[in-house]
Structure 1
């Protein structure tokens, strides 16, 4: 049975205790596998007031959702270790995961679910408002800013795509041509949707009573806005996994590079034998429920791999 692991701390160590990691760990624990989740409490969606489109938990605070997941996992015998992984490498019969406090865990398999990090455009004030009224996803936060005065910071053609989606949610959307000027065809499409294009670089944001109140241009002009949409560069969290020699590739949309991600099959299997990955580290655009589903798939596949390759 999976709970008897001779010479190992666990069948599977899961690195990252977000929706993907906890979902995968729970699937393994329900299959009577010994599983340990190591988490450093840096969820990507932590700045957000709530997680949306999570059926049965609409608008739940991100950390509350994870706390529920932890309790469910522990109810099936899984363990959660609060700590930071500094490296992981192959060892005889499995893997060793090194922790920042000097400790280590050994396992027969690994599930990588460390998520991604959003790198924002270099505009003062964006990071402080991120996840509140500086947004990126219409499905994650769009309903909450419906009908408001919305701005979109243009950095690439993707920003035009975002503008069109947010124009579905408000009649007052402005595109700031900060780092990208729309083509004539794109301008015609935006004009048809009633979107104004404001030329010039953006120098910062204005905040009044702890709420976004405007976007400040380099010229000094301030355009009143209640929300600002930006496109982040999503970088997979892999710096702490150097010992695995894990393949990482660019996330591309045509010629545009939108981020980095771990190379993995739809099942979560990576090219590194014995290592699976799930969540935003593999699919940076995945929302909470998509990450949960990916974690569940990876957990099920890991269990089968342990059955067929004990």
Structure 2
């Protein structure tokens, strides 16, 4: 790795690669540090990405890496543990002991899906256990869908997924009882409700077959919807004094994210963030858009710093010295030198 890059991008997902692409095309020296564990690795395909609909997630990342490398961007595999301000820039430290310096940082480390502690959920996550209807609703359309309620968001999820299937069952599990209005909404949409704690998910040959209650009753289901807690991977930002804050849906805490402005700038000068580490709702395409926005903002900031340095260097010379140098250059040109 070079002694110093213009920008180190921490995280090589959609947001990080999009930012790195913009910066590399701006002729900046860019290093992307990535741990190789994308959040959507369990999913078979990425959706709602215009022009890349249905592309497998790892294939999409490989395409992005080739594009960034084509403009001179560099990559290294590894986990960034911390960063610290050094000499007007930053020192980025990796878990294996390596370190690299940069003038600016773009952090796109994403989030962690904290899943309900129900046997079978983690094993089937991303295939038959889902959370986002826009990501996976089409793939399970008209199938038997179960919604595992662990909070007040369960009713909302059941009503959402009813758009994709007429066979939706809400398992209250540890979620609260619906309100009177919610009971009416569920009934009006033909959503059945099962009261009782879920003991686990049944599966055969890696395929979901049903939802099992504590009393051993099994309800046949083809897919199960859960509501993870979306926790920002904010360790690098926390090392710089930035903290993730709660992100809510109404009064319900859904997860955490690091606050940024419209360009992705954090409260620490020289540090930008984009993607799921700042926004739990961001899908692949919106994370890529946020990465582009942040990359352009980083480059604009570097342009202003480059300009300030150039002005300061010009002012080193006194007016008399400047005139003498100009006269010398003009004289050289007259004599064909």
| TM norm structure 2 | 0.88
Contact 2:162 2:168 in 1 (8 A): yes
1:42 shift after superposition: 1.1
SS at structure 1 position matched to 2:239: helix
Cα distance in 2 for partners of 1:243, 1:268 equals 18
- Which residue of structure 1 lines up, in the alignment, with residue 91 of structure 2? 96
Cα distance in 1 for partners of 2:142, 2:248 equals 32
Cα distance in 2 for partners of 1:211, 1:240 equals 37
Contact 1:86 1:241 in 2 (8 A): no
Cα distance in 2 for partners of 1:254, 1:73 equals 39
- Rg (Cα) greater in structure: 2
SS at structure 2 position matched to 1:66: helix
Question: Pairwise mapping of residues 104-253 of structure 1 onto structure 2 (< 5 A)?
Answer: 104-180=99-175, 181-253=177-249
Gaps of 5+ in 2: 307-337
Contact 1:88 1:242 in 2 (8 A): no
Q: 2:30 aligns with which of 35, 40, 49?
A: 35
**Runs of 4 or more consecutive aligned structure 1 residues displaced over 6 Å after TM superposition:** none
Cα distance in 2 for partners of 1:8, 1:161 equals 51
**Residue 59 (str. 1) matches residue 54 (str. 2):** yes
Cα distance in 2 for partners of 1:86, 1:247 equals 15
Contact 1:202 1:216 in 2 (8 A): yes
- Which residue of structure 2 lines up, in the alignment, with residue 287 of structure 1? 283
Cα distance in 1 for partners of 2:280, 2:242 equals 17
Cα distance in 2 for partners of 1:166, 1:256 equals 19
- Which residue of structure 2 lines up, in the alignment, with residue 276 of structure 1? 272
Cα distance in 1 for partners of 2:217, 2:139 equals 27
1:184 shift after superposition: 1.4
Cα distance in 2 for partners of 1:243, 1:154 equals 35
- Which residue of structure 2 lines up, in the alignment, with residue 307 of structure 1? 303
Query: Number of paired residues?
Result: 304
